[in-house]
Amino acid sequence: MAPGTEEPARVVADDPVTAAASAAATAPRPPDGGEPGALRAALTADDVPPAAQDPVDPPIAAAAATAVRVLGGGLRGSLEPPRETRLLAVANQKGGVGKTTTVVNIAAALALHGLHVLVLDVDPQGNASTALSIDHHADVPSVYDVLIEGRPLAEVVQPVEGIPGLLCAPATIDLAGAEIELVSVVARESRLQRAVAAYAKERAARGEPRLDFVLIDCPPSLGLLTVNALVAAHEVLVPIQCEYYALEGLGQLWRNIDLIKQHLNPELHVSTMLLTMYDGRTRLAAQVADEVREHFPTLVLKTAVPRSVRVSEAPSYGQTVMTYDPASSGALSYLEVARELAGRPASR
């Protein structure tokens, strides 16, 4: 039997995951091919010139109109800022599931709506810094200095060019050593939390706008860097790649979250799961999406992010897909994801 054709998707459930599954009620249907229809409708309804809505117009005209609207500030003010700063760690100890892609694109989408957003790159690979075109060679002050040297976050944060309201604290390669160096540092689990709290106070004292969202890009491990992210956050967003073994190993993440909740950060909870790299042409993706939604009916966002070449091309241009190709299906779905996320309550 060829993989991806007949065999049902294997979604492995570890204990806490099974427990969550038993609480499952009715599972909403997955979106058809991840097409963000509602957003597309919203983008073309009243804000795009009538000519662009004419079905005989070449698609390029509609795409250009969408690009002008997204990049030209047309989305500003259309999302309600949260009552308090929302701090989300984007975590999954598997590599390649879309954590970084999700962080940078949600962050860009929220900022394009006029919100104030900070990305903390806590992965030594520095992929989020690359995608946001943030300088992160070895001499640049980075999250490493914040965690190990206690350097204020304000000295590390850089504005993202071309996206007003978006800031990024970069990761440099030094961060690879931080996992070990942190072991002997005082309050090793809460270094990031303290830095973020101090930064928020400093911004207020300087009369700068309050941050609406802080998104933390975690490395693919459950070591001290991820622990720092989970102690600093209130919410966890878990990207799930629509592939075999989608949920395998998640039990370990759930157990770590429980431990951190018990001992270090009572507020922490998984608030959101996002299906990534959804390929509407395969039965496998639909089966995995169905199963994940069945297990976690309240956590999984309605919007799934489709597998899209534009999404994977964007980082090599130092861009998010939001700016690289705002009218592409990947960009539209991340816009929709950002809106859905912003519209959901932060707490359970």
Ligand X SMILES: Nc1ncnc2c1ncn2[C@@H]1O[C@H](COP(=O)(O)OP(=O)(O)O)[C@@H](O)[C@H]1O
Is the CB of 48 or the CB of 311 nearer to ligand X?
311
Cα 136 from Cα 174, distance rounded (Å): 10
Cα 207 from Cα 203, distance rounded (Å): 6
Does residue number 246 form part of the binding site for ligand X (CB under 6 A)? Answer: no
Count other C-beta atoms under 10 Å from residue 164's C-beta: 13
Q: Binds 140, which of Mg ion, ligand X, none (CB < 5 to 8 A, cut-off by type)?
A: none
Does residue number 99 form part of the binding site for ligand X (CB under 6 A)? Answer: yes
Is the CB of 277 or the CB of 286 nearer to Mg ion?
277
Residue 228 and residue 187 in contact, taking contact as beta carbons nearer than 8 Å: no
User: Which range in 76-84, 92-100, 141-149, 202-210 contacts ligand X by CB under 6 A?
Assistant: 92-100
Does residue number 330 form part of the binding site for ligand X (CB under 6 A)? Answer: yes
Pick from 153, 277, 304, 327: which binds ligand X (CB under 6 A)? Answer: 277
Q: Which residues ranging from 93 to 152 are in contact with Mg ion (CB under 5 A)? A: 99-100, 127
Pick from 82, 220, 249, 297: which binds ligand X (CB under 6 A)? Answer: 220
Is the CB of 85 or the CB of 308 nearer to ligand X?
308
Q: H or E segment at 119?
A: strand 117-121
Q: How far is the CB of 175 from Mg ion (least distance, A)?
A: 12
- Which residues, including other chains, have CB under 8 Å from residue 265's CB and lie 6 or more apart? 193, 230, 231, 233
Is the CB of 99 or the CB of 136 nearer to ligand X?
99
Pick from 31, 36, 81, 98: which binds ligand X (CB under 6 A)? Answer: 98
126 SS3 class: coil
Strands laid side by side in the 117-121 sheet: 158-159, 166-169, 117-121, 213-217, 86-90, 235-241, 269-276
Pick from 59, 73, 96, 164: which binds ligand X (CB under 6 A)? Answer: 96
Q: Binds 292, which of ligand X, Mg ion, none (CB < 5 to 8 A, cut-off by type)?
A: none
Cα 52 from Cα 170, distance rounded (Å): 39
- Which of 246, 300, 317, 295 has the alpha carbon at shortest distance from 34? 300
Q: Which residues ranging from 30 to 69 are in contact with ligand X (CB under 6 A)? A: none
Q: How far is the CB of 66 from ligand X (least distance, A)?
A: 18
- Which residues, including other chains, have CB under 8 Å from residue 346's CB and lie 6 or more apart? 82, 84, 86, 234, 235, 271
Interacting residue ranges for ligand X, rule: CB under 6 A: 95-101, 127, 220, 276-277, 305, 307-308, 311-312, 315, 330
Interacting residue ranges for Mg ion, rule: CB under 5 A: 99-100, 127
